[in-house]
Amino acid sequence: MLNNSFLHIPGFTIDKEEELWASGVTTWAQAINSDKLDSKQVRFLERSTQALNERDSIFFNERFTARERWRLLPDFKNETAFLDIETTGLGKDAYITMCGILDATGFNAYVRGDNLDDLVSILDEYKLVVTFNGISFDIPWLKKELGPLLNDTSHVDLMHILRNVGLIGGLKKIERICGLDRGDDLSLLSGRDAVSLWNMAQEGEPHALETLIRYNAEDVSSLPKLTEVAYKRNSQGTPMAKHQFLPPARFDTSLLPYDSGLVRYLCRSATK
């Protein structure tokens, strides 16, 4: 929980935070009523308490580095969106084809030419977004295409907080390391295949778009599972470890249709 964290106090280091915990001071309230902090630090924790009560997640986003934002997860879990985009590539003429969002109510797909522009208002509803490599990829692309957004929303990039605990690589590689291998044919597809599916859909292939959406949903639905792993491993040995983090965002991707024949075709093409 955030009120076990002191690393966001200006001038605080991890060593100072650990010293405070070791002294028996593990919450903001205890720290405020102790003699461990100076008056300026006490006022800062009082401001932190106010920000948390007001659900001001951006206050904490600006004060924790990307590697430490895992600390925000439990307090904002019911106001969190797990997000992943697909694009036509990485070149200057590339564009977003769709964005999948998973929250406590389920999964929704926002598709170019249909409802992609709705994301501007939709994303304003969340206090926190969780991505994988979103600092470098998803969020800059969304802002480039849709303009200013997420100005009042915190961002946890799983790639950064997983690196803290030695989990390095792409999404699917880390899933396998953590024992979260999906075990289906869609897991054999890559971002390049997602581009092909979009192009097929534009050319009239009847099941290409639903297959692309299912592919995206598989990626998005893995993010809450990896977030649990990331929180558990980062919080180990800290007061935050006693607060189990179970994100309410869950989705059974088997509810979404896809064309397994298209998947087999793409897999065969990739091996040629």
Q: CATH fold of 77-271, please?
A: Nucleotidyltransferase; domain 5 (3.30.420)
Please tell me the predicted confidence (pLDDT) of residue 266. Answer: 94
Is the pLDDT assigned to residue 144 strictly greater than 60?
Answer: yes
Share of the chain above pLDDT 90, in %: 92
Mean pLDDT to the nearest integer, 130-137: 97
Residue 181 pLDDT level (bands cut at 50, 70, 90): confident
Where are the domains positioned within the chain? 2-54, 77-271
Is the pLDDT assigned to residue 270 strictly greater than 90?
Answer: no
Residue 243 pLDDT level (bands cut at 50, 70, 90): confident
Tokens encoding 162: 């997983």
Kindly report the average pLDDT of the chain as a whole number. 95
Mean pLDDT to the nearest integer, 196-208: 97
Residue 41 pLDDT level (bands cut at 50, 70, 90): very high
- How far apart (Å, rounded) are the C-alpha atoms in residues 56 and 50? 9
Q: Say which residues have a Cβ less than 8 Å from residue 99's Cβ, sequence separation at least 6.
A: 83, 84, 85, 86, 109, 110, 116, 119, 138, 142, 216
Please tell me the predicted confidence (pLDDT) of residue 271. Answer: 61
Q: Could you tell me which of 63, 62, 53, 107 has the C-alpha nearest to residue 84?
A: 107
In order, the DSSP letters of 162-226 are HHTTT--S-HHHHHHHTT----SGGGG--HHHHHHHHHHHHTT-TTHHHHHHHHHHHHHHHHHHH
Please tell me the predicted confidence (pLDDT) of residue 244. Answer: 81
Tokens encoding 235: 């919080």
Please tell me the predicted confidence (pLDDT) of residue 178. Answer: 94
Read off the amino acid at residue 175.
E
Is the pLDDT assigned to residue 272 strictly greater than 60?
Answer: no
Read off the pTM: 0.95
Mean pLDDT to the nearest integer, 2-27: 97
Please tell me the predicted confidence (pLDDT) of residue 137. Answer: 97
**Backbone dihedral angles phi then psi of residue 99, each to the nearest 5 degrees:** -140, 130
Is the pLDDT assigned to residue 232 strictly greater than 70?
Answer: yes
Please tell me the predicted confidence (pLDDT) of residue 269. Answer: 76
Higher pLDDT, 182 or 18: 18
Is the pLDDT assigned to residue 39 strictly greater than 70?
Answer: yes
**Backbone dihedral angles phi then psi of residue 204, each to the nearest 5 degrees:** 100, 5
